Amino acid sequence: MVNLEKKVVGIDVSSKFLTISFKNAQNQEIVMNIGNLKKDILSCLKKLDQKDYKIVVEATGSYSSKILYYAYSKGFDVYQVNPLTIKKYAEVRNLISKTDDEDAKLIRDF
């Protein structure tokens, strides 16, 4: 069952970097870039409480497997979305420009 009370962490994945978008406790939008490495992922996940956040990641095969695995092992609810779904969602919202920051925000808002 999906918990609608949790805030969403949207993550855009590339081979070397993760772009992470979420809203903090004061509802301020935070966007950050970290390496797609175990130490960077675990360090970032320590800053988030699994009771307050769920992780949504765009499916990118092996590149997204690390964040999904480590987030799940830390107790986060994790979700993987199809990249085509995010692309169509952006089209519906009439968003043309495509940066990693904007993709992470789209994934979060989706």
The residue type of 43 is S
Residue 95 pLDDT class (50, 70, 90 cuts)? confident
- pLDDT at residue 4, as a whole number: 67
Residue 80 pLDDT class (50, 70, 90 cuts)? very high
- pLDDT at residue 51, as a whole number: 92
Name the pTM for this structure.
0.87
Whether residue 40 contacts residue 34, with contact meaning beta carbons closer than 8 Å, is answered with: yes
- Other C-beta atoms lying within 10 Å of the C-beta of residue 25: 8
Q: Which residues, listed in sequence order, are joined to residue 35 by a DSSP beta bridge?
A: 17
The three-state secondary structure class of 55 is strand
The average pLDDT across 47-66 equals 91
Residue 24 has, within 13 A of its CA and on its CB side, a CA count of 7
**Quick check: 40 pLDDT over 80?**
yes
The average pLDDT across 33-45 equals 94
